[in-house]
Amino acid sequence: MNMRTVKMLLAIAGLLGAVLAPLPTYSYLLNLTVPMGGGAPQPDRWDFSSFPVVWNINPSHGSNIQGSRSVVDVIQASFNTWISAPNATLRVSRGADSSISSENASPSNVNLICFVCSDADFTKDAQTLAVTITTAADARGEPDGHGGTTRFAGQLIKADIIFNPQTQYTTDGGGSLQDLQTVATHEIGHFFGLAHSAVVRAVMSPAASNLRTLAYDDVAGLSVLYPAASPQVPTGAISGTVRLASAGVFGAHVYAQSVTMALPFASTIRKTPIGILTRPDGSYTIQGLPADSYVVIAEPLDGPVENDDVKGYSQAFGRTAVQANFTTRWH
Amino acid sequence: MTRACLLMLVALTTTMAAATTVVPMSVEELTRASARVVEAQVLDSWSTWNAEHTRIFTYSRVRVARALKGRSEEVVTVKQLGGSAGGYTMKVAGVRALSPGERTLLFLRPSQAGDGTWVIVGLMQGMFHVYAAGGHTMVSNGIHAAVVHEQRAGAPRQEAVRPMTLEEAESRVRGASTQ
């Protein structure tokens, strides 16, 4: 860990207290696509008005999955966790079941959920539990796989979730086996366009453990991508800039941590910090913050979540790595 | 250790299970699962759709500086799922693309596609970044959280991956190769 003491200037607008304001249009730990021909990276997301977004499960599975619940029940429950999130509107449903058992045979108009696809190289290692493979258009006007064309760069047109048939799962949770619902909930976050979060207790943390419920950080990310027309819980945003020796810091993890016991979201949503990474100029906007009082903290991504976990973020901005040459500051 | 990291570690110790998408593999496990372990530098990369036009793969040619396990070959082509081609970008969470010029320690096995390419063991776990720090050449695959899990759980597994010197990694690879 780099613990060099360096002078860092945090210029943060609105440090304490969420500011109730319209949500800006761009933010955070989302999967980003660089538009063809250049331009600012755009967040990957579905356009629910372009074509119906459905998931197609092949319910077949091997003896590696045990438990009293069916895999269909687990996947439906995992989707419901996201669909029921406050402040977001998701229009996604279960489509016809699929018999596809090969990852390479999944057509463009199927969002496959597969437990028996063993043709992907990762399935050789039981330690790789599952992968979500998303496809986004690099520009508007590309065929969307459903008879139309895409409307913006970053529009998701397909997402497959492949569970490793070598991994030992339980549908009941607990015990020494992998909890299928925990893994499914995390992977479905990727399905909707979320990247890994540096907030460790978030479902989208790359190290999330036994977490079937969403965290504030997950809800904030989802509500930025798919904002509800009438949010159940009012939210605001905190903006600012992280500077080191007057230069903007790229990829600093900035998060807002509540300093109260308030629970603005329902009790099923776990209270966590809400975090993002700074842009190349050091600026940031933390969106989706429920009304509360916050301390804002900037820290380097030097573990447990680090640059390699968010490499796609760096690459989207033409960088090879986020900056980690500073120490934590909080205001 | 930053204040925030301490908070994270406290949080981690309260709920123990395996990581969501990967279970950490030790250097020894990675070695045993690999046909080759090479220290290499990335020469170039390109992405293209597969023949069925269902997947985009990124291919990277790496120049092998030395082989720690397996046959030595000057240039090896590594295949990773995901990339940008033909107006689309395919992403796989957790897959980190190799960058031209990058120094890396790779744990590889032949792709089951039988196309002569090699894939990284453990999705991204078998891909170690090589970097200089404190006068040493260090390697890390970025699976820090896994270390916390292993320590807390007291599992009888070997130590999970953490940043280590290249010399230590080499010693462990060679040790596991002879077992």
Q: What is the pTM of this model?
A: 0.86
Predicted pLDDT at A303: 66
The answer to whether residue B125 sits within a structural domain is yes
Task: Give the nearest chain A residue to B102 (CA atoms).
Answer: A320
Domains recognised in chain A with CATH numbers: 8-28+232-330 (2.60.40), 43-193 (3.40.390)
pLDDT tens for each residue of A89-100: 999 999 999 999
Contacts of B125 in chain A (CB under 8 A): 127-128
The answer to whether residue B98 sits within a structural domain is yes
CA distance A93 to chain B (A): 22
Domain interval for residue B88? 24-177
Phi/psi of residue B96, each to 5°? -105, 125
Predicted pLDDT at A308: 72
pLDDT tens for each residue of A77-132: 999 999 999 999 999 999 999 999 998 899 999 999 999 998 888 888 888 899 99
Contacts of A137 in chain B (CB under 8 A): 87-89
β-pair type (A169-170, A178-179)? parallel
Q: Is the ipTM of this complex over 0.95?
A: no
Taking the Cβ of residue B10 and every Cβ of chain A, the question of whether any pair is shorter than 8 Å is answered with: no
Contacts of A107 in chain B (CB under 8 A): 54
Answer yes or no: is pLDDT of A7 > 50.
no
pLDDT tens for each residue of A144-174: 999 999 999 999 999 999 999 999 999 998 7
Shortest CB distance from A315 goes to which of B16, B97, B149?
Answer: B97
B91 vs A315: CB contact, 8 Å cut-off? no
The answer to whether residue B14 sits within a structural domain is no
Other Cβ atoms within 10 Å of A237 Cβ, number:
22
The answer to whether residue B67 sits within a structural domain is yes
Q: What percent of chain A has pLDDT over 90?
A: 66
The answer to whether residue B84 sits within a structural domain is yes
Task: Give the nearest chain A residue to B88 (CA atoms).
Answer: A137
Average pLDDT for A207-211: 72
Report the range of poorest mean pLDDT among A197-201, A227-231, B7-11, B74-78. Answer: B7-11
Shortest CB distance from A304 goes to which of B54, B141, B144?
Answer: B144
B2 vs A327: CB contact, 8 Å cut-off? yes
pLDDT tens for each residue of B37-63: 999 999 999 999 999 899 999 999 999
Predicted pLDDT at A307: 75
Taking the Cβ of residue B157 and every Cβ of chain A, the question of whether any pair is shorter than 8 Å is answered with: no
Answer yes or no: is pLDDT of A30 > 80.
yes
Answer yes or no: is pLDDT of A137 > 60.
yes
Predicted pLDDT at A331: 64
pLDDT tens for each residue of A270-324: 999 999 999 999 999 999 999 999 999 998 887 666 777 777 788 888 888 888 8
Q: What percent of chain A has pLDDT over 70?
A: 89
Contacts of B24 in chain A (CB under 8 A): 127
Task: Give the nearest chain A residue to B33 (CA atoms).
Answer: A125
User: B125 vs A249, A262, B25, CA distance in Å?
Assistant: 28, 39, 7
The answer to whether residue B13 sits within a structural domain is no
Task: Give the nearest chain B residue to A194 (CA atoms).
Answer: B93
pLDDT tens for each residue of A41-56: 999 999 999 999 999 9
Predicted pLDDT at B142: 73
The answer to whether residue B101 sits within a structural domain is yes
Answer yes or no: is pLDDT of B81 > 60.
yes
Which residue did the predictor score with more confidence, A245 or B24?
A: A245
The answer to whether residue B159 sits within a structural domain is yes
Number of domains into which chain B is organized:
1
Answer yes or no: is pLDDT of B113 > 50.
yes
CATH code of B142's domain: 2.40.50.120
